[in-house]
Chain A
């Protein structure tokens, strides 16, 4: 029988060396997905994922059993992402963004070769559209669309009212709709 998250945490706290590894393997995909979509950069997302698990491990004794582990670890990951996003300055522009600014990417877009590349193009547009959203809307959309959380769970993770979650979702989708339409027209 598969152990629950709480049982694994108990074992980790009791000093079982490999127990936490089980939790990491169970949640790494979701956390990496969340950080990648929040930050938009692979390397930074990897670092943020590691930071999330390290922080969770160090603060494991503070985890209260009545809350869900998923909500707790999502909250840690989002805090880490938000800190990283706040510390970004206009001077730390990624190579992709530089290419985008200089018009390199648009030239490449016109050379539409093969369905694989088309798929990559759509992914890039979605990525760009999401990155353009304010972080508070982006995190709600990511948790709903990609992590499959219920609105009540998102409200729990973010510590905000349910109605605020739905309003952010609505505004975010409206904004994305405009952005994706513009991008579609640009292709």
Chain B
């Protein structure tokens, strides 16, 4: 073990006070812990020295401060497209009046029935309901007049509802598109101002850097001047203190 290592060992406390000492150092000790540490420090030189040394380490650590914060460009996308759609739908529902909601619900139900192909007929056997998935495109079966007759009024109303529904859906799509356009426009404006801010921040930072460098250069120049001045003084002093050397030199 060399002298330096021994020195380190001597400075390191062997007492079982590490946690309390650390809490005490950072003002996080309980009153009991503080009393314990205070009492201990009066009789333990090693711990007392250690505490002082840690305080010094802390002071040195604090010398490293970060003044220069880089300009960060955190480009983020939407957290989730599902969430966005849900939000839009929620907002849409919140501004729609109740009667429109009810109408919408009925229209949706009718649309669903129309899509899956529902036939309502009244015959000698009573009322019958037939559901046929994706009927469109299939040849229409001839209807036996004895079995019953089609309710043409119902068909007409379904057609009407379909048309209304189509109009409603188209309107919704148009509204949504308009809203999206507005959102995009707002985002663009926001991005533009953000870019402008970043540019200003960059310029300001650049100006500060230049100033710092100029200052540093000035300090260096002053230091060099000071050194040169010292050298000259040294030369002068040495010349005054050694007159014989000068006379010898003059003789040469």
Contact = CB atoms under 8 A, between A and B. Distances in A.
Contacts of B143: none
A28 B66 CA distance: 12
A166 B23 contact: yes
B216 A177 contact: no
A100 to B, nearest CB: 17
Given A176-B57, A177-B53, A177-B57, A151 B79 contact: no
B64 A127 contact: yes
Given A15-B87, A18-B190, A123-B64, A54 B69 contact: no
A61 B87 CA distance: 14
Contacts of A104: none
A113 B72 contact: no
A119 B220 contact: no
Interface stretch (B14-22, B131-139, B146-154, B202-210): B14-22
Contact of B22 (A32, A119, A170): A170
Contact of A145 (B58, B70, B79, B216): B58
Nearest to B91: A15
Interface in A129-178: 130, 141, 144-146, 150-151, 163, 166-167, 169-170, 173-174, 176-178
Contacts of A126: 60-61, 63-64
B187 interface: yes
B74 A24 contact: yes
Nearest to B76: A57
Task: Specify which of A46, A54, A170 lies most central, judged by the most chain B CB atoms within 10 Å of its CB.
Answer: A170
B18 A50 contact: no
A151 B72 contact: no
A58 B26 CA distance: 36
Interface in B1-41: 8, 11-12, 18-19, 21-23, 26, 28
B24 to A, nearest CB: 11
In this complex, the interface size class of chain B, counting residues with CB under 8 Å from chain A, is 35 or more
A122 B62 CA distance: 10
A144 B56 CA distance: 15
A114 interface: yes
Given A13-B83, A126-B61, A166 B8 contact: no
A14 interface: yes
Contacts of A8: none
A178 B54 CA distance: 11
Contact of B66 (A12, A32, A114, A144): A32
B223 interface: yes
Task: Specify which of B8, B22, B54 lies most central, judged by the most chain A CB atoms within 10 Å of its CB.
Answer: B22
B169 interface: no
A116 interface: yes
Interface string A3-31: 00000000011110110110010001100
B219 interface: yes
Task: Specify which of B18, B64, B219 lies most central, judged by the most chain A CB atoms within 10 Å of its CB.
Answer: B64
A24 B58 contact: no
B124 interface: no
Contact of B63 (A29, A53, A123, A144): A123
Contact of A114 (B12, B28, B57, B219): B219
Given A57-B74, A177-B53, 7 more contacts: A15-B78, A24-B72, A130-B61, A146-B64, A167-B18, A170-B22, A173-B22
21 contacts: A12-B79, A15-B87, A17-B190, A18-B190, A32-B72, A46-B70, A49-B70, A54-B76, A61-B79, A113-B223, A116-B219, A126-B63, A151-B26, A166-B23, A170-B18, A173-B22, A173-B57, A173-B58, A177-B11, A178-B8, A180-B60
